[in-house]
């Protein structure tokens, strides 16, 4: 306070005290760390058919905004003996849904003395996706899964995907979800048109193509992890049930792709 204002205050006058201009915000000081208060999200997952069933492939990265939170995330999870769920979006919400579906399918089977029908399983998943719509509209809690199953009645693998409101769709050959899915959409069609439909490929060929697609997604999408540090996760579902693709096989195929790309 200046001498003039001090004298005005003593004499009972109202001093004019200048209000300083607000300082320009410092983004480094005011912006939160990318991981503070941010939900963790899984990124790209892929499902393709092959002659004996369906292959599910996912990278291992989980992100929060621009930060890598975890590089060993499990994004392809069994729900029962013949159902796989590949998850993208909110990791916490996905895990909650996986636990719920496992319990729901098991409870139905024990209480009704028969497995839940495929249509029942698909409807149950649709309900939990629709229930998460309010959170998804706020930018939190949204997730989009791929459901793969082996239909023992039809004797074939089947792939289903959903929109954010729970509407379900069946894919005849392939599907992808997550941040890198749009970047590789056209590559699926290119492979199918130049090398034949996925459902006619043997297991190794289809797996190699799925890993190739995941590698392209990692190149074009910052959130999708590559395999230089951690191998991706891959599972198959067939008449024999769900099986993990062994790491030595994944290492061999990813090395082939890396050498091919030079």
Q: Give me the active site residues, please.
A: 43
φ, ψ for residue 65, nearest 5 deg: 55, -120
DSSP 8-state code for residue 18: P
Q: Do residues 198 and 174 lie in contact, with contact meaning Cβ atoms separated by under 8 Å?
A: yes
Distances (CA, A) of 131 to 66, 134, 173, 187: 27, 7, 28, 33
DSSP per residue, 213-242: HHHHHHHH-TTS--SSSS--EEEEEETTEE
What contacts 224, CB < 8 A, 6 or more positions away? 43, 44, 59, 61, 178, 179, 180, 214, 217, 218
**Sequential DSSP letters for 104-115:** HHHHHHHHHTSP
8 A C-beta contact, residue 57 and residue 215: no
**189 CB-contact burial (10 Å; exposed 0-12 / middle 13-18 / buried 19+):** exposed
| Structure tokens given for 132 | 């998460």
Return the structure tokens found at 229: 């540090």
């Amino acid at each position: 306070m200046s001498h003039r204002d001090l004298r005005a205050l003593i004499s009972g006058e109202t001093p004019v005290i200048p209000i300083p201009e607000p300082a320009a915000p410092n983004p480094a000081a005011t912006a939160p760390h990318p991981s503070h208060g941010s939900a963790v999200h899984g990124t790209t997952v892929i499902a393709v058919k092959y002659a004996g069933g369906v292959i599910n492939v996912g990278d291992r990265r989980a992100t929060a905004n621009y930060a890598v939170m975890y590089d060993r995330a499990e994004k392809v999870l069994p729900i029962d003996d013949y159902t796989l769920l590949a998850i993208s979006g909110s990791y916490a919400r996905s895990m909650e849904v996986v636990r719920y579906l496992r319990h729901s399918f098991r409870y139905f089977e024990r209480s009704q003395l028969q497995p839940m029908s495929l249509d029942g399983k698909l409807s149950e998943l649709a309900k939990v996706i629709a229930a998460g719509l309010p959170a998804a509209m706020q930018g939190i809690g949204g997730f989009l899964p791929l459901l793969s199953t082996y239909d023992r009645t039809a004797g074939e693998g089947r792939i289903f995907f959903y929109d954010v409101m729970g509407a379900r769709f069946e894919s005849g050959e392939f599907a992808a979800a997550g941040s890198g899915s749009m970047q590789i959409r056209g590559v699926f069609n290119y492979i199918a048109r130049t090398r034949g439909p996925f459902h006619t490929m043997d297991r190794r060929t289809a797996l190699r193509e799925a890993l190739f697609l995941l590698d392209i997604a990692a190149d074009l999408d910052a959130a999708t992890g590559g395999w230089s540090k951690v191998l991706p996760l891959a599972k198959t579902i067939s008449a024999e049930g769900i099986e993990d693709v062994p790491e030595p096989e994944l290492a061999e195929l990813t090395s082939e792709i890396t050498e091919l790309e030079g």
